[in-house]
């Protein structure tokens, strides 16, 4: 009941909002259909706050390679140029990168 009220409030204020699962499905579909990517060779990087309750429920974690965590509390990407370089070195051969 509480979840339904929360969902209704979010949709009222942000009509195009998607939950974590729908977001994952949307972007995985774009990767496969629009960009013809092999999702088993896509390295996921994320800068979503480490205590966000939605992250474990995303399909990204079940499908994509990774995650390469770039952030901390608040989701701020603290890795800088060195971290981005390290991330780039972990992208599989003939693979792709996806930063969420």
Residues 36-93: tens digit of each pLDDT:
999 999 999 888 776 665 555 567 777 887 888 887 677 778 888 999 999 999 999 9
The residue ranges of every structural domain in the chain are 2-99
Q: What is the pLDDT of residue 31?
A: 95
What does the pLDDT read at residue 76? 78
Answer left, alpha or beta for residue 33, where phi above 0 means left and psi between -120 and 50 means alpha.
Answer: alpha
- Banded pLDDT at 27 (limits 50, 70, 90): very high
* pLDDT for 53: 58
pTM: 0.74
Length of the chain in residues, anyone?
A: 100
CA distance 87 to 70: 9
Q: What is the DSSP string of the chain?
A: -HHHHHHHHHHHH-TT---HHHHHHHHHHIIIIIS---GGGEEEEE-S-TT-TTGGG-THHHHSEEEEE-B-GGG-B--HHHHHHHHHHTSPTT-EEEE-
């Amino acid at each position: 009941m509480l979840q339904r009220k929360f969902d209704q409030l979010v949709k009222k204020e942000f009509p195009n909002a998607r939950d974590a699962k729908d977001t994952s499905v949307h972007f995985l579909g774009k990767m496969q259909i629009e960009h013809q990517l092999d999702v088993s060779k896509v390295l996921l990087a994320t800068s979503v706050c480490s205590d966000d309750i939605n992250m474990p429920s995303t399909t990204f974690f079940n499908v994509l390679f990774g995650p390469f965590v770039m952030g901390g509390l608040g989701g701020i990407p603290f890795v800088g140029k060195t971290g981005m370089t390290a991330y780039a070195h972990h992208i599989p051969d003939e693979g792709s990168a996806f930063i969420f």
